[in-house]
Structure 1
Amino acid sequence: MASHRRPKQPSRSRVTALTAFAAAAVALSSQSAMAAPEKPNKDEVKAKVDALYGEAEQATEKFDGAKDRQDKLEKEIAQLQDQVARGQLELNDMRNTLGSMASAQYRTGGIDQSLTLLLSDDPQSYLDKASTFQQLSAKQIETIGRIQAKQRFLAQQRQEAAGKLADLDATRKELGEQKKAAQDKLAQAQAQLNSLTADERAQLSSQDASSSRASRSASGGGGAAKGSGRAGAALAAAASVEGATYHMGDTGPNSFDCSGLTQWAYAQAGVSISRTTYTQANEGTRIGRSELQPGDLVFFYGDLHHVGLYAGNGQVLHASHPAPNGGVKYEPMDDMPFQFGVRI
């Protein structure tokens, strides 16, 4: 008769070993399917860094615009507040004059009841009705009219100041957002550079320095002698700070961003231009590449977020970026998508 014994169960240690083997097989399969991408080479990193610097500069120009608006609003608000304070003093003098009239009237035979109300704690409701007071003197009526006009003008100024304060709050918020956006992009760019080896970073730095020297030589050593008038003076000023560092929002004399350099350079030539690339693009006459002369403003990228000074022979002198060998330097215009020039 056949045996019906139960088959022998695998031991606990055998089950554990089989489970571990299966898990390892799954893990190896997953790792094979999701293999880590190869580390980008230095040229790929440079391309990513350049793109991030471009995005940082877009935010920087918006930051510059917000900062410029903030500065103007603060000045306008201060002027309005000063005007309101002086207007309030004038209003108080008018009221004091009206009070003196009332005192004189009282000494000479009593004060009109309507004028008494005008000088009470709440005279405004009576000021609006002053033209109907038949017993007031012509001079009193004239003073009351001036008080009413001054009150209306002060109310308008206070309302204007309140509106500008609201604009200032919104501008400050935008300023913070754009500053953070630029700083984030710069931090990402630095992280990309940090992913390279020391030798790779040195190679990139050497390439940048060599390119800048070649560009400077191609421009004729600064192009200042070739420039004329205020454009030539602006180019000479920019050439005098070659090597200055790039820093978001700065307008010199030791560090600059791109539009900060062009604004500063033209200021040294006695010409005042606006703060950002977007507004500098409309400062003068737009010209094509074949018309460029040393010192003309040259704009790059479709959204015009970068500007420099034409240095001659197809070269630009500009505040480029904060990386090693960045800052104020010469570079071939062909390294960036040229849009147009502007003659100031």
Structure 2
Amino acid sequence: MAAHRKSAHRKPKQRLFTGPAARTAATLALAGAATATTATGAGAAHAEPRPTPAQVKTKVDRLYHDAEVATEKYNGAKEKATATAKALDALRDEAARRTERLNTSRHDLGSLATAQYRTGGLDPAVQLALSSDPDQYLQRAAFLDRAGDRRATVLNGIRRQLTEVARVRARAEEEIGTLTARQADLKRHKARITGKLADARRLLDTLTDAQRADYERAADARHGGGTSHADRAFPRGSAVAPNARAAQAVGFAYGAIGKPYVWGATGPSSFDCSGLTQAAWRAAGVSLPRTTYTQINAGQRVSRSELAPGDLVFFYSGISHVGLYIGGGRMIHAPRPGAPVRIAPLDEMPFAGATRVA
């Protein structure tokens, strides 16, 4: 009985294919292997080739440029959002003041109504007939007439105040809608900037340390050769500014050399390109708009041959970069992330125009 149970649980032997069945199995196996090999080869063929160091550098430069374009749009949206927020605060303050005056007028009207109710229970002719002192009554009646005129004036004032409060509140609602839209613009431009910079970092991470060092050296060469080299090659004061304000702006820019580029920054510890020029001229007592594409219209246009220290110099067809001219074909500017404020030649980027502020 035990032997029977043991045999019942024993695994059956696997039988190997023989004859035609074996040939069929072998054919299927070879076909499957060939299919797997083909699929693997197809996957490898469709794999994206690794970019060369030169391609990485080109793409990174493009991403940095695109990020700067987005930065200037962000700066413009932020400037508008800030102005809208201030306007909204002013409207809310005005609405509160007008509402307080309206409530005071309503209180005055209530006091008048109460006084007239207490004295106005009888017809005026009856009151005159029953009065023991007609002269006193007539004086009181004249006072009530004046009070009636005053009530009419108060009522008209309340109507006007209600209209003004409603107008101010409607404008505030419009500003709220505008502010919401501009905050959405800010968020969109910020996402574009951070996305471009993240893409640039990922591409740079594909380079070896030596290749990345080569890229940084090449970028330094394009942007003026680095701060220390620029200082040695073009000493401060080698060109004279046309007036005191321009000299102050140039002096501020020299003082900012070496400070980091940070998108959206206007100083004092970091700058983006238009933030640097705005801060430089603010130090000279001149208020510039925030963005490159508005700064170019902030003064008198001058040709490249007419440039003088303190002039704003602009680059690219979209007016997406700006620097402060210091003479000798050079400028001080905030180039890009990872490249601090420095002196650079005008020829490093496509020149788009120049403006003389003062």
Tell me the TM-score normalised to structure 2 length.
Answer: 0.80
| AA at the equivalent of 2:320 | H
1:223 deviation in Å? 4.8
1:212 matches 2:223: no
Larger radius of gyration: 2
Q: Mark the CA change 1:111 to 1:57 in structure 2 (over 3 Å): closer, same or farther.
A: farther
1:261 deviation in Å? 1.0
- Write the mapping of 1:164-175 to structure 2, written as runs, cut at 5 A: 164-175=175-186
Indicate conservation of the 8 Å contact 1:258/1:320, yes or no.
yes
**Cα deviation digits, residues 299-318 of structure 1 (max 9, x gap):** 11111111111122222211
SS at match of 1:181: helix
Indicate conservation of the 8 Å contact 1:223/1:294, yes or no.
no
SS at match of 1:339: strand
Q: Mark the CA change 1:15 to 1:80 in structure 2 (over 3 Å): closer, same or farther.
A: same
| AA at the equivalent of 1:80 | L
Aligned to 1:80: 91
Moved more, 12-21 or 244-253: 12-21
Aligned to 2:64: 53
Q: Mark the CA change 1:96 to 1:46 in structure 2 (over 3 Å): closer, same or farther.
A: same
Cα distance in 2, alignment partners of residues 229 and 340 from structure 1: 23
Cα distance in 2, alignment partners of residues 104 and 24 from structure 1: 102
1:258 matches 2:273: yes
Name the Cα RMSD after superposition: 2.6
1:146 matches 2:160: no
Gaps of 5+ in 2: 1-18, 124-144
**Cα deviation digits, residues 276-307 of structure 1 (max 9, x gap):** 11111110011111111111111111111111
Aligned to 1:299: 314
1:16 deviation in Å? 5.3
Indicate conservation of the 8 Å contact 2:239/2:326, yes or no.
no
1:157 matches 2:168: yes
Q: 1:332 aligns with which of 345, 348, 351?
A: 345
Q: Mark the CA change 1:110 to 1:245 in structure 2 (over 3 Å): closer, same or farther.
A: farther
Aligned to 1:22: 34
Task: Give the count of matched residue pairs.
Answer: 313
Q: 2:286 aligns with which of 254, 267, 271?
A: 271
- Write the mapping of 1:23-38 to structure 2, written as runs, cut at 5 A: 23=35, 26=38, 30=42, 34=46, 37=49
1:225 deviation in Å? 5.7
Q: Mark the CA change 1:111 to 1:188 in structure 2 (over 3 Å): closer, same or farther.
A: farther
Aligned to 2:235: 221
SS at match of 1:256: coil
Gaps of 5+ in 1: 1-6, 113-133
Using the aligned pairs only, state the percent identity.
40
